[in-house]
Structure 1
């Protein structure tokens, strides 16, 4: 098992990629804190992990709230004694809004969940990592953080910001035993589309050519396998970069 003895926090872990990552980490020996805004769904993931012989804890957290981030990491340390791996996976979509149609409240909400939460969780975890000169941070970005025709302007901006934050963090703490990388998934079967409440027709029309290039839809377990690699010692020389997992979408 590749993560024996490690303690991992996974946000947005009640479904989709986060759930797949949490389940695989537990299978590989990690003690996993399953964090999500949906408490009952997170608890169900924990029960499944325990039923398979793993160890896990559910912690309700709205990652857009600083107090919840503080509680999440503090609970992890008080329960398991430390933190080794932080997976910033929680995220929401915009409504494919172009710049001219962005509403301030939507911009602020999507940034709070997709970007500010990544900074706050990383900031909270760093003192733990620095003290023991070890830590792994994995941020779930998106191909939307690499290209302009995959989502609306707000989501695209948030994921570009996550990519930049990842590169800077990886470089800044490279000499402190801390690695920070991002995964840029392409189209993956998750329920993130449920976070959209009214698709902007113009924005969707403009991004449709880019969306239509997608050659395949991935499964959460395929992203989880990459997250396992990046969390393990097998990727010890990979730092401050973005690994794209999109079935060849961006190769076009």
Structure 2
């Protein structure tokens, strides 16, 4: 658990992709601030581990296995959340994959489709239903997890970068449509963060952790999932009540330098 001090008692948070990495850290942070947490992921073992960690620390959580690319699964997820807790105050749409290791012309069609289905359509399907639930209760806050790659691309991640840029555009559009109805919608743009997804990417491209640390950002280290969770909770909270439609980079100054080489 983190030492965040928000008072989310009586509130409910939904976190997708919560089996590990940023999603797990965010679920733990919501719980440490008193929220009931719906932990969801397609990976059952990791999702149950996150839920167990929350309960062991004295928090309240339930795990729902859900595939964010399936409208039926997402419908069932929202129904479970409403049945269990009666509301969704906060939603963090974090589920994503990064499967490329080549320039665009060499990306397999099925790989591109999978990335688009999870990273963009998954966020759309969840947001659509989260917004509907929030409208019925008078408001809420949504934070989508995008990427610094949405703001500065790399040569070997064209589809991933495109989906994350699309998430930012959808975030802004939705904020325009729903802020007046008391639903704030924002995004975070993580930099190079120490997550299972980063480990998979490094394995795919044959990169050593020490090399990545040296060029990741101005601090020459990987970001910690808890640092992203802190940003997500701030955007969720009333402390950020005037912030909407915003893309918040959490990347240690990478965007000032573009340190990681393309290719």
**Could you list the runs of 4 or more consecutive aligned residues of structure 1 that deviate by over 2 angstroms after TM superposition?**
193-201, 211-216
* Unmatched runs of 5 consecutive residues or more in structure 1: none
Deviations 1:169-221 (A, max 9, x none): 111111000010000000000001465598479xx9xxx99x94633311000
Larger displacement relative to structure 2 (131-140 or 109-118): 131-140
| Count of aligned pairs between the two proteins | 246
Larger displacement relative to structure 2 (150-159 or 178-187): 150-159
Normalised by the length of structure 2, the TM-score is 0.88
Q: Taking structure 1 as reference, are residues 116 and 197 closer, same or farther at Cα in structure 2, changes over 3 Å only?
A: farther
1:145 counterpart residue number: 150
Normalised by the length of structure 1, the TM-score is 0.91
Does structure 1 residue 62 correspond to structure 2 residue 63?
A: no
2:19 counterpart residue number: 14
Contact 1:136 1:178 in 2 (8 A): yes
1:26 counterpart residue number: 31
The equivalences for 1:1-252 within 5 A come to 1-149=6-154, 151-193=156-198, 199=204, 212=215, 214-215=217-218, 216-252=221-257
Q: Taking structure 1 as reference, are residues 115 and 225 closer, same or farther at Cα in structure 2, changes over 3 Å only?
A: same
Q: C-alpha distance in 2, partners of 1:184/1:35?
A: 21
Superposed CA RMSD: 2.2
Deviations 1:86-124 (A, max 9, x none): 110011102233221122211110011111010000111
Q: Taking structure 1 as reference, are residues 246 and 93 closer, same or farther at Cα in structure 2, changes over 3 Å only?
A: same
Q: Taking structure 1 as reference, are residues 250 and 136 closer, same or farther at Cα in structure 2, changes over 3 Å only?
A: same
Larger displacement relative to structure 2 (214-223 or 15-24): 214-223
Q: C-alpha distance in 1, partners of 2:32/2:113?
A: 36
